[in-house]
RNA sequence: GCGGGUGUAGCUCAGUGGUAGAGCGUCACGUUGCCAACGUGAAUGUCGUCGGUUCAAAUCCGAUCACCCGCUCCA
């Protein structure tokens, strides 16, 4: 395998992220806090640029003008919903149940099981003998437990000779005489412990159990609960999408792999609503276009893949739909495997249905589609009421940033910095740099002039750097590590013949262009023309 | 949550019981004419944290926190 990702060291990338101000450990001066990361000056701009690129290509100019499956323009509107919502939102969505799975650990085999997936067996009528646990719906596990029980009892046992009960029904004393699946010793299973993946907080100052609220574990539900508002107040019609970016929070059991699995993270989500008949086409459309988008933003190589989920790994809401695809990136820490950047899920009408049917919501969420239904006497369709299906392209912004950092990291022993960050110009935090060759003879003044010009023109897209100090090579090297695509150098000739040197980050090659062409050069380089 | 590893300057790391170091980076001044040039000078650390052993701890012991790896988990 010749891919570069396996030769890149995550330690080196993390070290550069710290050294150059991309990403810091959160609360570092207090020893850090597990699962949280702060973005430094370059990282914050990089992240904003990625978010802005998404916003531009999803909300402002959906799919860059690419028409949908039927040839119509893609319609998307934005929202910005709260991190804290009525807790009933999370009951309806299934998060309050699903995010509270109790787990059991085995001290002997170091295995962990979902407590509700474990069952145990003992000989009929024997209240004191050892109990043997096995994994639900796992014949091998069941047979092994039965065999161990038989060996313990020193007789052949069959299914008819045993009692079975859920592990969660066992008392502490019974757990102490239980042998775990795959275990040899008795009493190695821990008591079931709840792993609450949602962050809790309390509304109001009294902080009683009645005031519990949750930080959202995904931004999607904020969109679903506003579906009716958007339909009622905006001139949208199905098919259309609602998009938002924002923070979400999950109390991950094991935050790991730099920012890849953080407890606080930012999502970029679209919920695209369409008629069930068209859902499969829209699913394929979004899946392919989102893949193309990540490629265009700089993840063009073989480290990016589109992977269709197997049936057995589909989430509960996706069972009925066309499926789920992941756009995955081969990170240094996952190689040769991949880690998820974005999931495109066909959620059918699971979420709208759940909210409509929650006993306390009491709101009809059905959409009246006036383009469907039988024709009335006047020749107009009578309309059809339905809960739209949903295609959900849900991307992790922090994961996108991390993938871009990993992809951009390019070792190059030939250059002074030994490494440069090959960001796509669109996401590069520093768009251009202007340097006087030396800090005298009118060059700094000329450089300041060009710098101001570029700031005025491109400053809204990212940082325009300038620096009159130290040697030119040192300044180039710094820009290499920051991933600045273009450096313009003012020298003596600039003052006489009106040209500047432009240095290309990726090739380190230099050429002279007229001072007056610099703005156009940058515009072209950033893909603005 | 389990097991293993790591933790010393911004980064990479040396330092195995006796006055905290190096390289690079950063900053200042000078110099400098296209790839971390050079000269001079400077700043930066409760050696992750807390406790213990000791006349004496970066060093030994314990706990704890964070990160990395393997499990586990992952809407």
Whether the pLDDT of residue A2 is over 50: the answer is: no
Instruction: From the CA of A70 to the C1' of B27: give the distance in Å.
Output: 62
A505: which nucleotide lies closest, measuring CA to C1'? B35
Given A195, A211, A244, the domain boundary residue is A195
Within 13 Å, how many C-alpha atoms sit on residue A391's CB side? 27
d(CA A34, CA A216): 19
A99: which nucleotide lies closest, measuring CA to C1'? B75
Can you say whether residue A508 is alpha, beta or left, with left for phi > 0 and alpha for psi between -120 and 50 degrees?
left
How does the average pLDDT of chain A come out, rounded? 88
Residue nearest to nucleotide B26 (CA to C1'): A19
The H or E element spanning position A141 is: helix A139-153
What pLDDT shows up at residue A184?
A: 75
Mean per-residue pLDDT for A446-462? 96
A218: which nucleotide lies closest, measuring CA to C1'? B75
pLDDT tens, A206-254? 777 788 899 999 999 999 999 999 999 999 999 999 999 999 998 887 8
Classify A168 as helix, strand or coil: helix
Instruction: From the CA of A248 to the C1' of B44: give the distance in Å.
Output: 37
ipTM confidence score: 0.91
The two tokens of residue A304 are 């990016």
Do A105 and A91 lie in one domain? The reply is no
Mean per-residue pLDDT for A59-76? 96
Instruction: From the CA of A110 to the C1' of B71: give the distance in Å.
Output: 7
Do A90 and A238 lie in one domain? The reply is yes
Residues of chain A with pLDDT > 90: what percent? 59
Instruction: From the CA of A13 to the C1' of B6: give the distance in Å.
Output: 17
What pLDDT shows up at residue A316?
A: 56
Instruction: From the CA of A72 to the C1' of B50: give the distance in Å.
Output: 66
Within 13 Å, how many C-alpha atoms sit on residue A80's CB side? 3
pLDDT tens, A473-495? 999 999 999 999 999 999 999 99
A475: which nucleotide lies closest, measuring CA to C1'? B36
d(CA A440, CA A138): 78
Are the C-beta atoms of residues A214 and A198 closer than 8 Å to each other?
yes
Do A146 and A283 lie in one domain? The reply is no
Whether the pLDDT of residue A322 is over 70: the answer is: no
Question: Which is more confidently placed, A197 or A396?
Answer: A396
d(CA A244, CA A222): 9
Do A234 and A357 lie in one domain? The reply is yes
Do A428 and A487 lie in one domain? The reply is yes
Instruction: From the CA of A414 to the C1' of B38: give the distance in Å.
Output: 22
Mean per-residue pLDDT for A448-466? 96
What pLDDT shows up at residue A101?
A: 60
Structural domain including A216 reads 51-98+202-407
Q: Give strand B nucleotides closer than 7 A to any protein Cβ.
A: 1-3, 7, 10-13, 25-28, 31-38, 48-49, 65-75
Do A84 and A121 lie in one domain? The reply is no
Whether the pLDDT of residue A165 is over 90: the answer is: no
pLDDT tens, A350-393? 999 999 999 888 789 999 999 988 888 888 888 899 999 999 99
Mean per-residue pLDDT for A330-353? 90
Residue nearest to nucleotide B3 (CA to C1'): A110
Instruction: From the CA of A21 to the C1' of B8: give the distance in Å.
Output: 22
- How far, in whole angstroms, is CA A449 from its chain's centroid? 41
State the alpha helices, DSSP H only, in A20-56: 41-55
- The dihedral built from the CA positions of residue A414, A419, A424 and A430, taken in this order, carries a sign that is negative
A507: which nucleotide lies closest, measuring CA to C1'? B35
Question: What is the C-alpha R_g of chain A?
Answer: 29
| A16 within a domain of the structure (yes/no) | no
Residue A160: pLDDT band with limits 50, 70, 90: confident
A135: Cβ contacts below 8 Å, ≥ 6 apart: A113, A117, A118, A119, A141, A142, A181
The H or E element spanning position A19 is: helix A10-19
A217: which nucleotide lies closest, measuring CA to C1'? B75
Residue A6: pLDDT band with limits 50, 70, 90: very low
Instruction: From the CA of A208 to the C1' of B71: give the distance in Å.
Output: 38
Given A407, A425, A456, the domain boundary residue is A407
What pLDDT shows up at residue A141?
A: 79
Do A333 and A216 lie in one domain? The reply is yes
A107: which nucleotide lies closest, measuring CA to C1'? B2
pLDDT tens, A266-313? 999 999 999 999 999 999 999 999 999 999 999 988 899 999 887 666
Instruction: From the CA of A404 to the C1' of B67: give the distance in Å.
Output: 22
Question: Which is more confidently placed, A39 or A158?
Answer: A39
Given A355, A376, A407, the domain boundary residue is A407
What pLDDT shows up at residue A3?
A: 42
| A30 within a domain of the structure (yes/no) | no
Do A159 and A116 lie in one domain? The reply is yes
d(CA A165, CA A120): 6
Q: Which residue, A212, A245, A522, A529, is CA-closest to A397?
A: A245
Do A79 and A165 lie in one domain? The reply is no
d(CA A113, CA A388): 37
Question: How many domains does one find in chain A?
Answer: 3
Burial (Cβ within 10 Å: 0-12, 13-18, ≥19) of residue A355: buried
Whether the pLDDT of residue A315 is over 60: the answer is: no
The two tokens of residue A496 are 């006489």
Mean per-residue pLDDT for A9-25? 91
Do A481 and A428 lie in one domain? The reply is yes
| A27 within a domain of the structure (yes/no) | no
| A110 within a domain of the structure (yes/no) | yes
CATH number of the structural domain spanning residue A218: 3.30.930.10
């Amino acid at each position: 395998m010749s891919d570069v990702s396996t030769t890149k060291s995550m330690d080196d990338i993390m070290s550069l992220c710290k050294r150059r101000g991309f990403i810091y450990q959160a609360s570092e001066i207090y020893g850090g806090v597990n699962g949280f990361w702060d973005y430094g000056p370059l990282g914050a701009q990089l992240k904003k640029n990625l978010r802005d690129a998404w916003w531009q290509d999803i909300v402002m100019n959906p799919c860059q003008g690419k028409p949908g499956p039927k040839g119509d323009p893609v319609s998307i509107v934005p929202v910005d919903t709260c991190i804290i919502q009525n807790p009933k939102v999370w009951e309806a969505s299934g998060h309050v149940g699903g995010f509270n799975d109790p787990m059991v650990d085995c001290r002997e085999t170091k295995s962990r099981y979902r407590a509700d997936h474990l069952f145990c067996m003992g000989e009929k009528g024997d209240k004191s003998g050892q109990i043997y646990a096995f994994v639900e719906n796992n014949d091998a596990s069941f047979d092994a437990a039965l065999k161990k029980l038989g060996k313990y009892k020193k007789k052949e046992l069959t299914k008819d000779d045993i009692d079975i009960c859920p592990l969660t029904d066992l008392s502490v004393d019974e757990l102490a005489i239980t042998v775990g699946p795959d275990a040899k010793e008795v009493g190695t299973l821990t008591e079931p412990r709840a792993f609450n993946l949602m962050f809790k907080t309390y509304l109001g100052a009294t902080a009683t159990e009645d005031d519990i609220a949750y930080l959202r574990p995904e931004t999607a539900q904020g969109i679903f609960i506003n579906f009716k508002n958007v339909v009622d107040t905006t001139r949208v019609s199905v098919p259309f999408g609602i998009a938002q970016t924002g923070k979400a929070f999950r109390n991950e059991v094991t935050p790991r792999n730099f920012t890849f699995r953080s407890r606080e993270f930012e999502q970029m989500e679209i919920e695209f609503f369409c008629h069930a008949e068209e859902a499969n086409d829209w699913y394929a459309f979004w899946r392919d276009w989102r893949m193309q988008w990540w490629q265009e933003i700089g993840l063009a190589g073989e480290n990016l893949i589109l992977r269709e989920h197997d049936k057995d790994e589909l989430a509960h809401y996706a069972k009925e739909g066309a499926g789920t695809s992941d756009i995955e990136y081969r990170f240094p820490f996952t190689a040769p495997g991949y880690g998820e950047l974005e999931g495109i899920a066909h959620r059918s009408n699971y979420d709208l249905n759940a909210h409509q049917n929650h006993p306390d919501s009491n709101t009809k969420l059905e959409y009246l589609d006036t383009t469907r239904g039988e024709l009335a006497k006047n020749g107009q369709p009578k309309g059809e009421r339905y809960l739209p299906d949903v295609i959900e392209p849900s991307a992790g912004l922090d994961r996108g940033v991390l993938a871009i950092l990993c992809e951009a990291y390019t070792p190059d022993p030939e250059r002074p910095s030994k490494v440069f960050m090959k960001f796509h110009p669109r996401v590069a935090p520093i768009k251009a740099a202007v340097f006087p060759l030396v800090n005298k003879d009118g060059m700094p003044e000329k450089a300041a002039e060009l710098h101001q010009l570029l700031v005025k023109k491109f400053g809204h897209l990212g940082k325009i750097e300038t620096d009159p100090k130290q040697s030119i090579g040192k300044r180039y090297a710094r820009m290499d590590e920051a991933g600045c695509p273009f450096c313009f150098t003012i020298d003596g000739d600039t003052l006489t013949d009106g040209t500047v040197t432009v240095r290309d980050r990726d090739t380190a090659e230099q050429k002279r262009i007229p001072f007056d062409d610099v703005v156009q050069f940058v515009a072209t380089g950033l893909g603005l023309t």
